[in-house]
Amino acid sequence: MWTGTELLIWGGMQQNQRLTMAGDGAAYDPVTRAWTPMSASPLSPRNTAFAVWTGSTALFWGGGNGNVSLLMNGASYDPASRTWTMLPAAPLPAGIDNLQAIAWTGTQMVVIQPGAGAAFDPATRSWAAVPGLPQVAGWQPFDIAASWTGSAVITWVASQRPPANGTNPPGFRFSAYSWVPGNRAWAAIPSRPDHANFPYGTAAPIGGRLLFLGGEGCGPGASCPLQYFFDGTWFDASSGMWTGLPETFSGGSGPAVWTGSAMVVFNTKAGATPGPPNRPPHIPPGAAAAFDPAGGAWTDLARCPIPDLTNASLAWTGRQLLVVTMDDAGGTPQAEVLSRPIRNRK
């Protein structure tokens, strides 16, 4: 996560060490191009922990350690004093079957589970109950994802029939819900019409709408079938309408980041025809393009020198795009900087 002056990276999975979970971290300063180790964390080693910058401290919550259940604890880190503080226990049941979605509202960290939820306020260091997601009779959730629109939390739920006689009946159900902080219940909203591309891409709230682009996989700590978000789409929270982009792009299976004026997506290129079912082989490693939602146009960017961006961490500093990843062969961190991929509009 970007703090305003440095990039914090903590935890993860060391693939060159038989998928060993990591419990350490470091801060990267793009000005000096130097790494500074973070102090020892009170949290156990984990992968895919949710992380957010509050403006003064970093929050780390949940994640997985390779077992079925999610980890249900977290801690805050103050980079100025290099000190950790455990978060108070959340009023939530154990995270079974990796069913948990998390959204940051700008003031609260909202943790959502089927039938339960809670919001953590870092200002008061306290939790407040959040209404549980509606349960649909005869259907069993197997994956959830969430995003913040600027005024409401949007949560998508993928469900299947409960196992019968040791087998899973065919068919899936996709549903979506909206919750405004302070409300007593979730409201049902339209789910994305094209269920083949459940929105796991990077989401950017723009003028009351959500723009989804790029990305693969699921949210923090989750485990689900691999999903490539080849195309892009808008979601209007006020009307509940989904609108596909007039021009899709090719690839888009890499990470993405919102710069405040454009979405940069890796493993993709501009000016392509509608996205294919699998990433085309002709897209070179490190290829990237930026989408400007104001004009609806794509712009190809310089290729990133790091070839494998599977586990890359991205951060927009306000002037530059940072791309940081670990070399699985030797465990050596790699960092690259792209200056001004898209000029911010004033």
Q: What is the mean pLDDT of each run of 10 residues along the chain (346 residues)?
A: 92 68 89 92 91 95 79 94 96 75 94 91 96 89 86 88 83 87 92 57 84 61 42 81 74 80 84 54 81 87 84 86 73 74 43
Domain-located, residue 231: no
Largest CA distance in the chain: 61
Collect all residues with Cβ–Cβ distance below 8 Å to 23 and sequence separation of at least 6.
Answer: 11, 41, 43, 44, 45, 46
How many alpha carbons lie under 13 Å from residue 115 in its C-beta half-sphere?
10
How confident is the model at residue 272, as a pLDDT? 56
How confident is the model at residue 345, as a pLDDT? 40
Closest CA to 149 of 75, 239, 85, 64: 239
Closest CA to 62 of 54, 74, 77, 52: 74
How confident is the model at residue 97, as a pLDDT? 61
Domain-located, residue 192: no
Residue carrying structure tokens 């065919």 = 170
Asked whether the beta carbons of 201 and 232 are under 8 A apart, the reply is: yes
Domain-located, residue 265: yes
Q: How, if at all, do strands 288-292 and 297-300 pair?
A: antiparallel
Q: 33, 48, 78 — which closes off a domain?
A: 78
How confident is the model at residue 344, as a pLDDT? 40
Question: H or E segment at 339?
Answer: strand 332-339
- Give, in order, the Cα–Cα distances in Å from 83 to each of 15, 21, 45, 75, 147: 28, 22, 17, 10, 29
Domain span at residue 33 reads 1-78
Domain-located, residue 235: no
Q: How, if at all, do strands 250-251 and 209-213 pair?
A: unpaired
How many alpha carbons lie under 13 Å from residue 244 in its C-beta half-sphere?
13
User: Dihedral of the CA atoms 243, 248, 253, 257 (nearest 10)?
Assistant: -70
Domain-located, residue 305: yes
Domain-located, residue 108: no
Domain-located, residue 122: no
Asked whether the beta carbons of 223 and 201 are under 8 A apart, the reply is: no
Domain-located, residue 46: yes
> Would you call 15 helix, strand, or coil by DSSP?
helix
283: its two tokens: 């897209």
How confident is the model at residue 95, as a pLDDT? 59
For residue 37, what is the DSSP state?
E
How confident is the model at residue 173, as a pLDDT? 83
> Would you call 59 helix, strand, or coil by DSSP?
strand
Q: 78, 106, 129 — which closes off a domain?
A: 78
Domain count, the chain: 2
d(CA 60, CA 221): 12
